[in-house]
Structure 1
Amino acid sequence: MIKVYFEDSDLEEYVLEDPIRIMETRNESTPKKAILPGSVLKLELEERGIKQKDFAREIGLPASNLNEYIHGKRGFTADFSLKLEDSLGIAADIWMNLQQNYELALARKQQLDIEEQVALNDLEEYDKIISIKDLTKRLGITSVSRKNILHQLTAMLNLKPAAELQVYACGKSYFKKSSKSKNDPRMILTWILLAKAEIKKVEVSGVFDISRKEKIINELQQVLHLNINSVNRVRDILSKNGIKFCIVEKMDSTPIDGYSFYDEDVPCIVVTKRRDTIDNFAFCIMHELGHLFLHLGENRSVEFVTLEEKERADKCEREADKFANDGLIPENIWKKSPAVKLDQYQIQKKYTEWADHLQLNKWIVLGRIGHELDFWRFKEDGTRRIS
């Protein structure tokens, strides 16, 4: 039996009959470690109890030359392999195959190293505009190979070249730093890529028809005010009306509430549930629906990311805000809401009674008055969370 040594690894034993079988035994198409032919010869001599200097003399070589063959400083030639065949009885073609496989493995490893470096460079360029660390964590990518990481990110996110992503980001206002919120443009783009990847998994049961606007609003209004199994029921309503919907958890430094856009010819709404309350969830759904009906239109390249802002200066955002308010509580009804002093107890008491009387969700009502008065100190009772 001949022991085969994998360079820089522990010794492993194989019968030296078929070097190809040895490679297959390791179950790797591209070995990480090459089999050094000289190591095989060294172990064979030790197995037979032959000293290297005596063997060198026997085959007519200086001991220094044999040492170079053993340590890989010289490649096994046909002439040297024939000498080994004559002396050890091991066919010359076995030694030549070992040498050939060794050189091929080294070449493959060198090519792999080059590809890894190229992938690393690409990932570093991407990391300047998106968070590779957060993407791999969110997507469950655990490979240590940069090449594999890049391949998986590209496949899962339909990732454009870094330069194209940079141009895309520069053309969108919501990637710019805001004095009103601590948004990070890099993290916003990261979240958007995740949202677009997640929405690809969603299918709809119906076809979008803009003429069904009032019916969609009324159905959503009833479900949101009732707040029973809200997320699933909203998803069902949107799906049967040809609108994709999903929830993608927010990321650090991304005060995003919602995102509306087209995935090919299908309108999409993505929300974050940044606040797990029915009033915030209801407003976000209606706000993005407002963008869909008011602003997306025929231009499939238009998209809206709704960031947390105390004052929405953008005309489209103000219009979507109004659409959301009217969709949840029509203006003619809201005008009849009670007038009370700026007192936490009185506001909560009066508006809760008013909401109950009209069969409205009290938290959607309190959320709206709280937003208008910039007053949020209401006592919660566990019913504000999304069911």
Structure 2
Amino acid sequence: MSKVIKNEEDYEGVMVELESLLDRNPAPGTSDNERLELLTLLVRDYESKAFQFVPPDPIEAIKFRMEQQSLTPRDLIPYVGSRSKVSEVLSGKRPLTISMIRALNSGLRIPASILIQEKTPDGCDDVIDWERFPLKQMVDWGWINLHGSASSAPPEQILPAFLASAGSLRAQAVLCRSSSHVRSARTMDDYAFTAWVARVLHLANKSPVKTKYKPGALSSKLLNELARLSKSENGPLDARQFLRDLGIHVIVERHLPHTYLDGAAIMVDRQHPVIALTLRYDRVDSFWFTLMHELAHILLHLENEDDVYYDDLDIDAEDDPREREANRFAGEALIPTDAWDKSLAKHLRSPQAAEHLANQLGIHPAIVAGRMQHEFKAYQLLRNLVGNRQVRKFFPEVNWS
């Protein structure tokens, strides 16, 4: 059945098929998955019209079942996937995926009709305030071209087309930060943030990567190889091509005011993850560490479509295990611990020590200089060696003015 549900008999029939599809857990892009999404919409539409009561919130339903069965968050790991995911689901920061819904329905017998409801994250308005987008800045930077009468059109007539050009982006989901992990302690302008994400995905769609990304393609050894490209005359461009050949987009676009972003890792679909870099700090060491940090998120943390990590790397990562893990992975990819521990650079604050270790590893001296600044907590140290103003020049297509 693919028509509107008109009565209880239709509803029961759809629910039987819906739960059967949930049990099969169809892969994204398959006809069964499309059927599952269609039936979910039909059920939601029918329930919103037929039932006078407000159905239980899916998260509240999970918590109620936990109370009934004296379950702890740890007991949900088999159904949700990890302790961090359980925490995010129960706090409303991560939406339930189809596989989670299937597992919770089967294992805890929570009705699928409750679990498939969409939850609006706390503090998120249903209505987009188009006036809050930084439209003038977007036009000035060439993100949006307005001609003739369009130049005086209201934002609500201009911006939907810009957001739609991002493809699978759902503006409301970004504004509400659903399925997003944002590393930032500063107040971020959500509308500027959403506009930047849309711009990044628009650029990714304009230059599609033909190779399909294969989970597991990234490894410590491969990222060590990538790090050695830093010594190339055109290192940033070589790195971008290296990753495109693996099926990973690398997009460079400056950040909008009040977003404080250095980079992002976005799982648009399972075949083409996107890394976005702002080059907020135009330094060689910053470029390579940010790139490796976002690659670590792809390798270690991005699992579902629409998973997103946004990073302000000025913020300490001590309170976030995933960010600490990404930092460690990035550091190890650039300068392995055993090499660092045996090096003069660990003890001597000299350019010669930095260059000696860089030559030993086959990487750009700026990467070692940046590590030394961080380790010694001396950010004026080796300033002439970190590659100031040596990265943006490779990306003239970005409006840096």
TM-score under structure 1 length normalisation: 0.58
Distance 1:381 1:261, change over 3 A: closer
Counterpart amino acid of 1:275?
Answer: Y
**Preserved contact between residue 130 and residue 155 of structure 2 (Cα < 8 Å):** no
Three-state SS of the structure 1 residue aligned to 2:358 is helix
CA positional deviation for 1:188: 2.1
**Bigger mean CA deviation after superposition, 140-149 or 229-238:** 140-149
The aligned counterpart of 1:102 is none
The aligned counterpart of 2:364 is 361
Spell out structure 1 runs of 4+ moving beyond 6 A.
173-177
**Preserved contact between residue 227 and residue 278 of structure 1 (Cα < 8 Å):** no
Tell me whether 1:376 sits opposite 2:379 in the alignment. Answer: yes
**Bigger mean CA deviation after superposition, 132-141 or 242-251:** 132-141
Q: Which structure 2 residue ranges, 5 or more long, are not aligned? A: 1-126, 395-401
Aligned partners of 1:275 and 1:363: how far apart in 2? Answer: 13
The aligned counterpart of 1:158 is 164
Tell me whether 1:267 sits opposite 2:273 in the alignment. Answer: yes
1:24-77, Cα deviation, whole Å (9 max, x unpaired): xxxxxxxxxxxxxxxxxxxxxxxxxxxxxxxxxxxxxxxxxxxxxxxxxxxxxx
Counterpart amino acid of 1:220?
Answer: L
1:1-387 mapped onto 2 (5 Å cutoff): 125-128=129-132, 130-138=133-141, 139-143=143-147, 144-145=149-150, 147=153, 150-158=156-164, 165=171, 168-171=174-177, 180-181=185-186, 183-214=188-219, 216-224=222-230, 226-265=231-270, 266-297=272-303, 299-312=304-317, 313-338=319-344, 346-377=349-380, 378-380=382-384, 383-384=387-388, 385-386=390-391
CA positional deviation for 1:177: 10
Three-state SS of the structure 2 residue aligned to 1:281 is helix
**Preserved contact between residue 126 and residue 132 of structure 1 (Cα < 8 Å):** no
CA positional deviation for 1:308: 3.0
**Preserved contact between residue 260 and residue 291 of structure 1 (Cα < 8 Å):** yes
Three-state SS of the structure 1 residue aligned to 2:129 is helix
1:239-289, Cα deviation, whole Å (9 max, x unpaired): 111111110112222221111112233111111111121111111111110
1:86-119, Cα deviation, whole Å (9 max, x unpaired): xxxxxxxxxxxxxxxxxxxxxxxxxxxxxxxxxx
**Preserved contact between residue 209 and residue 244 of structure 2 (Cα < 8 Å):** yes
Counterpart amino acid of 2:201?
Answer: K
CA positional deviation for 1:369: 2.0
Three-state SS of the structure 1 residue aligned to 2:311 is strand
Distance 1:134 1:175, change over 3 A: farther
Counterpart amino acid of 1:300?
Answer: E
- Length, aligned pairs only: 255
Counterpart amino acid of 2:203?
Answer: E
Aligned partners of 1:337 and 1:228: how far apart in 2? Answer: 25
Aligned partners of 1:210 and 1:203: how far apart in 2? Answer: 18
Aligned partners of 1:169 and 1:258: how far apart in 2? Answer: 18
CA positional deviation for 1:181: 4.1
Query: Whose RCO is larger (CA < 8 A, sep 6+)?
Result: 2
Aligned partners of 1:327 and 1:370: how far apart in 2? Answer: 18
**Preserved contact between residue 139 and residue 145 of structure 2 (Cα < 8 Å):** yes
CA positional deviation for 1:174: 7.5
The aligned counterpart of 2:38 is none
Q: Percent identity?
A: 25
1:154-202, Cα deviation, whole Å (9 max, x unpaired): 2232179xxx745642335979895x54643332222222112222112
Counterpart amino acid of 2:373?
Answer: G
Three-state SS of the structure 2 residue aligned to 1:380 is helix
**Preserved contact between residue 258 and residue 269 of structure 1 (Cα < 8 Å):** yes
Three-state SS of the structure 2 residue aligned to 1:360 is coil
Aligned partners of 2:223 and 2:182: how far apart in 1? Answer: 32
**Preserved contact between residue 162 and residue 198 of structure 2 (Cα < 8 Å):** no
Three-state SS of the structure 2 residue aligned to 1:228 is coil
Aligned partners of 1:271 and 1:260: how far apart in 2? Answer: 9
TM-score under structure 2 length normalisation: 0.56
**Preserved contact between residue 219 and residue 237 of structure 1 (Cα < 8 Å):** no
Aligned partners of 1:318 and 1:379: how far apart in 2? Answer: 26
The aligned counterpart of 1:18 is none
CA RMSD, Structure 1 to Structure 2 (Å): 3.1
Counterpart amino acid of 1:261?
Answer: I
Aligned partners of 1:198 and 1:151: how far apart in 2? Answer: 21
Aligned partners of 1:286 and 1:337: how far apart in 2? Answer: 22
Aligned partners of 2:180 and 2:212: how far apart in 1? Answer: 30
Compare CA radii of gyration and give the structure with the larger one.
Answer: 1
Distance 1:204 1:271, change over 3 A: same
Distance 1:197 1:189, change over 3 A: same
Counterpart amino acid of 1:229?
Answer: N
**Preserved contact between residue 177 and residue 184 of structure 1 (Cα < 8 Å):** no
Distance 1:125 1:363, change over 3 A: same
**Bigger mean CA deviation after superposition, 205-214 or 300-309:** 205-214
